[in-house]
Chain A
Amino acid sequence: MVDKTAIWAIAMKDMRSVVSSVRVWLPMLVIPFLLGVVAPCLMIILVGFGNYKEMENLQIVMDMIEKLKDTVLYEDIQSYSTLNQKMVYVLVTYLFTPFFLVIPIMASSVVAANSFVGEKERKTLESLLLSPIDMLSLFIGKVLSAFIPAMVITLIMFFLFGLSVTILTLPLFAEPIFPTVDWIIMISWVVPSVCLFVILFNVVISAKVRGFQEAYQLGSVVVIPIVILIISQLFGYFFLNTWRIFFMGLIVLILNGIFIRWISHRNHRLKLAEKHL
């Protein structure tokens, strides 16, 4: 049985620590804002209002749309007459989606990587190990302290992204093109699962390594599959459609279940103490 009071105490204490340090929370907000709002807006403005007749590399854009041929998206694209509309539609409904997998990672990795190793560096880990809390509750508290801010930031960025996209695309399409079903599945199903997976991974790493730098660098490995996904999307090697997005969320959710089960079956107090005290 987990200790809910202890879980919330740990999560609130860690979140309070984040809020009290500008050096921690500012990058957690600025980078997601640049990635989730500023960069998409600039791209929409550039692609939606640019004159493509004068651009030489038009063929690359056309090739990419061609690769989408057997997808539902292709039919939607064909319903638009101008190349600007087609390109903006591809960006908004297709290319920007994996960006929102990166945002919760950006917003959670520092807190998650700092979770245990930070306690060790501040010499407070022993106080926690000497208290009557079970280690699963301590882990859950640490995970929540990274998960809650990451999801709040992601949802705020999603709202700002949606608002900006709607404002920028309305003159081009005369009707809202956002959010699509894929976006809703992505935000409500995949993003929380991926965010949890990344945090679990980082928290376990943080409990195993000796310093924050090591934890942060090792924890960053988990970004690699997301980067591969974005590149594959960009060059048309792998298409995220509704079912693929749904199954991606399901697979990550199952992995989370396995991860949590593995964590709960290990006596981390002894391991943490022998490793860090």
Chain B
Amino acid sequence: MTSFITVKGIEKSFGGKSVLHQVSFTVRRGEIVGLVGPNGSGKTTLIRLLNGVIVPDRGSIVVDGKDPIQDGNVIRAKSGTLTEEAGLYEELTAYQNLLFFSKLYHVNDHERIEQLLQQLQLDQAQHKKVGTFSTGMRKRLQLAKVLLHQPELLFLDEPTNGLDPEGIHLIMQIVKELNQNDRTTILICSHILSQLECLCDRFLFIDKGRIIEQGTQKELADRYLHQIKLRVETTYSHPENRIGTYRYEIVSSDELLFTLRDKEEVADLLSLLIQSAEVYSAEVLNRDLESIYFEVKKRYGG
């Protein structure tokens, strides 16, 4: 499959300070890619470069066959970017804000505006000035603004910052549906790795302006997690804290923690346990994205 976004050897510095160094990656059409990294690692700069708002010092970027500097407006017309700043006009109402941006994107469709306001649960507040909105309402309105022109490509920079659990669920649901129903390609940055875990197809780990690792969660887990920590809720107990050759630590009266070498040992251990006692649940603790992230950071001296 050909790439929708191709970034090769990008270098960018501001006032002599390097912000991005030799950044290369690709994103396929219809993929959701998580851009993971600490504050100041260059995520926002990368999104601005992909939109052709700033120019790289070196390297090349191609988005859907176009150069963001030469054909910036073509790319911007088919992409939507949710930035960390709300970018909304406080003295205008929610509806007036969407109407203004719909004209910039040549949508000018009142039905589309109303549909988005309803979808993002802002229809009751559509005639209130944005200055009176809560952080969560602003974020939802910002997403409505970004989706006005039904973009093929979405750049989401911290889309759930400042949202309550319902707001987070709503936004993640919309993002998922956009990808599933419209095959929208999505590049998403977030510090809440558990949210990205169940959303993204692949991850790019960025640190100090460099892509330090990339791949699917499985690929990354296989590369970085050489031990499996398995917590088992069971009635099993043994005076030497072991079953067969597997040793464990006691977490609580009915929870045991095993450290295993690989996935094959999980099945073997569980079959042993089931033969000897009741097993209620088993959970792998360290194959989540957060564990992978810290392992990657450890290797690259973060």
Contacts and interface: CB of A to CB of B under 8 A. Distances in A.
B48 A277 contact: yes
A81 interface: no
A127 interface: yes
Contacts of A13: 89, 92, 96, 100
A122 B48 contact: no
The range of chain A's interface size is: 20 to 34
A212 B200 CA distance: 42
A130 interface: yes
A124 B72 contact: no
B73 A274 contact: no
Contacts of A273: 48, 53-54
A212 B25 CA distance: 40
A131 B55 CA distance: 16
The range of chain B's interface size is: 20 to 34
Interface string B1-32: 00000000000001000000000000000000
B77 A123 contact: no
- Centre residue among A9, A20, A132 by max chain B CB count within 10 A: A132
Contact of A132 (B54, B55, B77, B91): B77
A131 B72 contact: no
Interface stretch (B104-112, B116-124, B182-190, B253-261): B104-112
A3 to B, nearest CB: 8
B73 A123 contact: no
B2 to A, nearest CB: 24
Nearest to B51: A130
Contacts of A57: none
A160 interface: no
A16 B96 CA distance: 10
B208 interface: no
A126 interface: yes
B158 interface: no
A214 interface: no
Interface string B118-139: 0000000000000000000000
Chain A interface, DSSP helix/strand/loop, else mixed: helix
Contacts of A8: 103
Interface of A: 5-6, 8-10, 13, 16-17, 20-21, 122-124, 126-134, 269-270, 273-274, 277
Interface of B: 14, 48, 51-55, 72-74, 76-77, 81, 83, 85-92, 96, 100-101, 103-106, 108, 145
Given A9-B100, A274-B14, 15 more contacts: A5-B106, A6-B104, A9-B103, A13-B92, A13-B96, A16-B91, A122-B90, A123-B87, A127-B83, A131-B76, A132-B72, A132-B76, A132-B106, A133-B104, A277-B54
24 contacts: A6-B104, A9-B100, A10-B104, A13-B89, A13-B100, A16-B91, A17-B91, A123-B87, A124-B89, A126-B53, A126-B83, A126-B85, A127-B83, A127-B87, A127-B101, A130-B53, A130-B81, A130-B83, A133-B73, A134-B73, A269-B53, A269-B72, A273-B48, A273-B53
